[in-house]
A and B are shown apart, each in its own frame.
Chain A
Amino acid sequence: MKRIMETISELAARWAVRTDGGAMSPEEQRELDTWLAADSRHRGAYVRARAQWVDLDRLAALHGPVGGAEGGHPAGSSLAPKPVPKLTAANATQPPTVALSRRQLLAAGIAAVGVIGGGVSWMILREGQGRYVSGIGEVRRIALEDGSTLLLNTASEVTVRFTKKQRDIRLVLGEALFEVAHDKSRPFIVRANDTAVRAVGTAFAVRLEAAQVDVTVTEGAVEVADSKAMSGLGPATLAASRPAVKRVVAHERAVIARARAPDVEPIGPAEAERQLAWREGLVSFDGESLQTAVAEINRHNRRQIVVDDPALGAMPIVGVFRATDLEGFSAAAAAALKGRAIRDGDLIRLQPGAVQTPK
């Protein structure tokens, strides 16, 4: 294992791979411990290498057939994509490494990255007034008369009312992304529960949840305030005159819990983009708990996933999935977390696999 020419990073990569290979012999473990204890740079390089190894799972989740149509590297024949196995209690209980390869499990969800249009219905309307609703699993684009567009996420509803003085939108249910055409004379205001968001020429998403409203800005800036504070305002900037108004700029997110001041935090462009993966009919997880991921997937589907075990629900999930691919997601989650996915009527139950025996 010791070669003089290896740098710390290379040695760290070797140990990270060795760890990935399964249980080490006591001598190897001692050798690793000694190496780690010798120098803090060894520990840092090892942490970095193992984190990178974990990070490559995201690539696996997105991976289509290797070097397929788009790549210049033809894959070995053993790597040709295989049909997605039907998700049944029988094969879900087999050891994942044998029966449920990641590629197979993810093929359906992943292939979707290329042909997303099929799963998402786009409707173009041009309206100034009215009520717009998207069904479960549907993402709907609506062009408004002022040149703005709104994109409805799954199971969402907005009402639109444009007057000469103001462009009023109410988010009744769910989540919507707004791309606002610039018009100084007519403020663009989105209301959700008791929160009002005023666009300052911009793109932003508003998400309505039971206990809070989330506002994510991808371009420009918005002002967030209590709905009452926002009423009757002129075109003048609110932030200057009223302390209750918070300004949120690109790549920030504001969380507004009921009757509390907005909590604004920077999230960065990549995270903002990830949170809006639904625009493309995808959901993206980057270490969220299985429970959180399942709740997100369930928003997009009539059939639902249930996590039967709190410890399993707390495990982190990484990957990009087609929002409506309930089975692909549950099979991938079961394989990654060494659990089982069991169909139960309209439910898919995720259960820990190791201890329980199949009924």
Chain B
Amino acid sequence: MPCIANQQIASVRGNHGVGQLKLRAVESSLCCEAMDDPVRYRWIAANILPHESELRGWLRRRLRAIGDNDVDDLVQEAFARIWAADFATIRNGRAYLYATVRHLLAEYARRSRIVPIELLGEIDSLNLISDEPGPERRVGARQELDRLRAIVAALPDQCRRVFELRKFDGLSHRDVAARMGLSEKTVENHLTRALARIGATLATLTPEGESTPSEPSARRADEADHGND
């Protein structure tokens, strides 16, 4: 289980492993008047989230020039774009996610002026894989839920109980606080910790369910990739 506190704030780091990679140079004018549409969140939960860990694994493996913080930046940028998209017209969430990332990489490459040839080649291969399921097959919905359950079960006791009362029993923050004898602020802290931990764990999980992509699994996926040609 990766510890969130060990992650660094991306913007604090001056160097991104490869000097030219500055994803945050990709400016976005999309704004945020009301980011409160529940239907949109459900759509993203159902159609985009399931593909995130596969995307991250792919980026880490194929775009070796990109560090973990760049992967985070890229994924966050992609979610911001997708939020602003007209999702009623999107038929395939996975293909759309990959297409969005490809655009982001192309924009970044254009702006940085120094265009690493290797990266452009990788962008083209992103294009190729966007249409069909990748070699790393997604785990089934049931396994995915089991994984979520395991993450919740591994939360520190009080944090887990707060989370369960809110999410499974549907108590309000105030009611959870009253039931547990905690302040609402503490309830909020526990819930934040639970959500952040779940998000961080899902981001680093490989489709096989390991918590970090190890070399053997990366190699296996590469072989499968080539076998697909």
A48 touches B169 (CB 8 A): no
- How far is B36's CA from A53's CA once the two chains are assembled, in angstroms? 13
Q: A21-B184, A44-B83 are in contact. Are A270 and B75 (CB under 8 A)?
A: no
From A9, A41, A46, B77 is in contact (CB under 8 Å) with A41
What A residues does B167 contact at CB under 8 A? 56-57, 59-60
From A43, A73, A265, B32 is in contact (CB under 8 Å) with A43
Task: Tell whether A31 is near chain B: CB-to-CB under 8 Å.
Answer: no
Residue of A nearest to B91 (CB): A265
Per-residue interface assignment for chain B, residues 34 to 77, with 1 indicating a CB less than 8 Å from any chain A CB and 0 otherwise:
01101101111110111010000000000000000000110111
Task: Tell whether B202 is near chain A: CB-to-CB under 8 Å.
Answer: yes
Whole-angstrom distance from the CB of A303 to the nearest CB of chain B?
26
Whole-angstrom distance from the CB of A262 to the nearest CB of chain B?
16
Size category of the B interface is 35 or more
A300-359 contacts to B (CB < 8 Å): 316, 318, 335
What A residues does B172 contact at CB under 8 A? 21-22, 97
Residue of A nearest to B82 (CB): A47
Per-residue interface assignment for chain A, residues 241 to 256, with 1 indicating a CB less than 8 Å from any chain B CB and 0 otherwise:
0000000000100000
- How far is B42's CA from A346's CA once the two chains are assembled, in angstroms? 32
Residue of B nearest to A59 (CB): B148
Per-residue interface assignment for chain A, residues 24 to 50, with 1 indicating a CB less than 8 Å from any chain B CB and 0 otherwise:
000000000100110111111111111
Task: Tell whether B117 is near chain A: CB-to-CB under 8 Å.
Answer: no
Q: A22-B173, A73-B153 are in contact. Are A316 and B199 (CB under 8 A)?
A: no
Q: A17-B195, A48-B76, A52-B198 are in contact. Are A37 and B133 (CB under 8 A)?
A: no
From A6, A47, A97, B35 is in contact (CB under 8 Å) with A47
Task: Tell whether B15 is near chain A: CB-to-CB under 8 Å.
Answer: no
- How far is B152's CA from A73's CA once the two chains are assembled, in angstroms? 10
Task: Tell whether B86 is near chain A: CB-to-CB under 8 Å.
Answer: no
A47 touches B80 (CB 8 A): yes
- Which of B119-127, B135-143, B217-225 lies at the binding interface? B135-143
Task: Tell whether B229 is near chain A: CB-to-CB under 8 Å.
Answer: no
Residue of A nearest to B32 (CB): A36
B28 touches A40 (CB 8 A): yes
Task: Tell whether A101 is near chain B: CB-to-CB under 8 Å.
Answer: yes
B30 touches A7 (CB 8 A): no
Interface centre among A55, A60, A73, A273 (most CB of B within 10 A): A55
Q: A14-B192, A36-B32, A48-B76 are in contact. Are A5 and B138 (CB under 8 A)?
A: no
B195 touches A76 (CB 8 A): no
B132 touches A47 (CB 8 A): no
A52 touches B30 (CB 8 A): no
A273 touches B35 (CB 8 A): no
- How far is B141's CA from A207's CA once the two chains are assembled, in angstroms? 21
- How far is B19's CA from A97's CA once the two chains are assembled, in angstroms? 52
What B residues does A266 contact at CB under 8 A? 92, 131-133
From B27, B43, B171, A97 is in contact (CB under 8 Å) with B171
- How far is B32's CA from A46's CA once the two chains are assembled, in angstroms? 11
Interface centre among A47, A50, A58, A335 (most CB of B within 10 A): A47
Task: Tell whether B8 is near chain A: CB-to-CB under 8 Å.
Answer: yes
Dominant SS among interface residues on chain A: helix
Q: A18-B188, A22-B172, A55-B49 are in contact. Are A270 and B160 (CB under 8 A)?
A: no
From B72, B77, B81, B202, A52 is in contact (CB under 8 Å) with B202
B31 touches A7 (CB 8 A): no
Whole-angstrom distance from the CB of B48 to the nearest CB of chain A?
7
What B residues does A270 contact at CB under 8 A? 50, 138-141, 144
B192 touches A9 (CB 8 A): no
Residue of B nearest to A250 (CB): B133
From B24, B35, B139, B169, A102 is in contact (CB under 8 Å) with B169
From B4, B41, B92, A7 is in contact (CB under 8 Å) with B4
B169 touches A67 (CB 8 A): no
- How far is B131's CA from A14's CA once the two chains are assembled, in angstroms? 35
- How far is B173's CA from A22's CA once the two chains are assembled, in angstroms? 8
What B residues does A56 contact at CB under 8 A? 148, 167, 195, 198
Per-residue interface assignment for chain B, residues 174 to 201, with 1 indicating a CB less than 8 Å from any chain A CB and 0 otherwise:
0100010000100010011001101110
A101 touches B78 (CB 8 A): no
Residue of A nearest to B4 (CB): A10
A-B contact pairs, 20 of them (CB 8 A): A8-B76, A9-B199, A20-B191, A39-B24, A41-B76, A41-B80, A44-B80, A47-B83, A49-B195, A55-B46, A59-B148, A63-B168, A79-B165, A79-B169, A101-B171, A251-B133, A265-B91, A269-B133, A287-B43, A318-B45
Chain A interface (Cβ < 8 Å from any Cβ of B): 4-10, 13-14, 16-22, 33, 36-37, 39-60, 62-63, 66-67, 71-73, 75-76, 78-79, 96-97, 101-103, 251, 265-266, 268-270, 273-274, 284, 286-287, 316, 318, 335
14 additional contacts (CB under 8 A) given A51-B42, A54-B45:
A9-B4, A19-B36, A20-B173, A21-B188, A40-B80, A41-B24, A41-B80, A48-B76, A51-B41, A54-B41, A269-B138, A270-B144, A273-B141, A274-B141
